[in-house]
Amino acid sequence: MYLLQTGVKKWVIILSVLLGITGCKEKDSDTFTLETNYGNITIHLYKETPIHRENFIRLAREGYYDGLLFHRVIKDFVIQTGDPASRNAVPGMALGAGGAEHQLEAEILPGFFHRKGVLAMAREGDNVNPERRSSGSHFYIVVGQVFTPEELEQATESINQRRHRALFEQLLQSKQAEIKQLEAAEDFEALTRINQRLSEEVRALFPREELVLTEAQKKAYTTVGGIPHLDGAYTVFGEVTGGMDVVEKIAAQKTDFHNRPSQDVRIIKIQ
């Protein structure tokens, strides 16, 4: 009788363990579901970007995003949310200026790029935010477009031309006071020297800004698609693992002059 009871207990323990493995798996703490009025989107956050991961988890658990709109929707580009003013926004109201008061230190990693389906944080431009710190609440999901190899090569060249010009203009802006004085004095030789120094600085600094695509990026942008010109400039911190059809449905909505969908696209809750 004792042996029989022991055997039963043994099988009960084994069955309990098996059930725990197959039926009671604990929810991944880095996986969340965005329930929207257009369907559900499942996302996974990267451990490699802990500042952004922890910020998103905190806001999601506090209910910060519950009720917010995807206020910026651009076909073949992104869908974006994070403005608390959108929760009770009347039709036609311009959105996007509001958000969490804090910013996040950039976590721009070379292995994470703007292929279709990734999550990244929006931010203010380089002219006021040279450290490329992220918004505390605004995030976007990449939709993007698929490029042919030739289109991708042309796009990369165009991106680098724009980055080169932007870097020169940024450095030029820092010399405006000196330039105005020299212009007033009509000292053209000194102005020429400044231009030469700025050109030399741009050549020295540009490799840090230049977009050089890896084979992984090239493959992604010519198969699933994405937005290569954002690479290296914004923090990517997660990806969509389910419901990409919902993202595409949202991205296809008609929008107004401010890129706000004519019919509200709302996050009901994140869990």
Cα separation, 118 vs 231, whole angstroms: 12
In the three-class reduction of DSSP (H, G, I as helix; E, B as strand; rest coil), residue 45 is classed as strand
pLDDT reported for residue 246: 98
Cα separation, 267 vs 153, whole angstroms: 37
For 57, 87, 202, the CA distances from 33, given in Å and listed in that order, are 12, 19, 44
- In a structure prediction context, what are the per-residue pLDDT tens digits for the chain, which is 271 residues long? 333 344 444 444 443 444 444 444 455 689 999 999 999 999 999 999 999 999 999 999 999 999 999 999 999 999 999 999 999 999 999 999 999 999 999 999 999 999 999 999 999 999 899 999 999 999 999 999 999 999 999 999 999 999 999 999 989 988 999 999 989 999 999 999 999 999 999 999 999 899 999 999 999 999 999 999 999 999 999 999 999 999 999 999 999 999 999 999 999 999 9
| Residues forming beta bridges with residue 73, ordered by sequence position | 79
| Residues forming beta bridges with residue 266, ordered by sequence position | 69
Cβ-Cβ contacts under 8 Å for 66 (sequence gap 6 or more)? 267, 268, 269, 270
The class that CATH gives domain 31-146+224-270 is mainly beta
pLDDT reported for residue 74: 98
Q: DSSP letters along 204-226, please? A: HHHHHH-----HHHHHHHTTT-B
Cβ atoms of 73 and 53 closer than 8 Å: no
